[in-house]
């Protein structure tokens, strides 16, 4: 899997407003793409923490750092429903790469570890003094009992 997305595929932020009955009125904003070569993932990413966004692809937790910035950049995604982008995140091991493309900035992270937590453990969104990232999804597959969490550290951030 190539580790870069052609400039023609880099998505600029912008609102999309398809009707979604029964969902919170959070705006749908696509902010870029995520690549995880180890599991063959290339997916659009969104900004928001309600199902209105997460159902479309991994979504950035508002109030956390953006990829490439100092702090913890947090993304939630589904494992088995909708586009199921994080179906195989349990296969990630230290050293695997996660790459974000947002507004012409390519931010490459390396997996540092993983853990399983309960949904009320919000420490996974805590901000850090260094550039880190967190991916999380329901665990085990087909259950919302726990969350599978992958921790990341920024390797490089460059203009494309």
Q: What is the pLDDT of residues 87-116, one digit of tens each?
A: 999 999 999 999 999 999 999 999 999 999
Residues in the chain: 160
pLDDT tens digits for 29-61? 999 999 999 999 999 999 998 888 888 999 999
With 0-12 / 13-18 / 19 or more C-beta atoms within 10 angstroms meaning exposed / middle / buried, residue 43 is middle
- Measured CA distances, 62 to 143, 147, 153 (Å): 24, 18, 19
In angstroms, the CA 3 to CA 45 distance is 16
- Residue spans of alpha helices (H) in the chain: 51-54
Phi, psi values for residue 135, rounded to 5°: -115, 140
Does this model's pTM top 0.95? My answer is no
């Amino acid at each position: 899997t190539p580790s870069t997305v052609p400039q023609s595929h880099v998505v600029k932020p912008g609102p999309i407003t398809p009707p979604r009955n029964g969902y919170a009125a959070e705006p749908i904003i696509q902010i870029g793409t995520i690549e995880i070569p180890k599991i063959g993932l290339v997916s659009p990413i969104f900004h928001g923490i309600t199902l209105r966004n997460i159902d479309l692809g991994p979504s950035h937790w508002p109030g956390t750092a953006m990829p490439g910035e100092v702090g913890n950049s947090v993304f939630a995604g589904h494992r088995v429903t909708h586009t199921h982008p994080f179906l195989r995140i349990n296969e990630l091991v230290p050293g695997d790469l996660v790459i974000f493309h947002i507004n012409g900035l390519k931010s490459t992270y390396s997996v540092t570890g993983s853990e399983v937590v309960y949904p009320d453990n919000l420490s996974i969104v805590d901000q850090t003094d260094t550039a880190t990232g967190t991916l999380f999804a329901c665990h085990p597959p087909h259950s919302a009992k726990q969350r599978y969490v992958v921790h990341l550290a920024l390797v490089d951030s460059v203009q494309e």
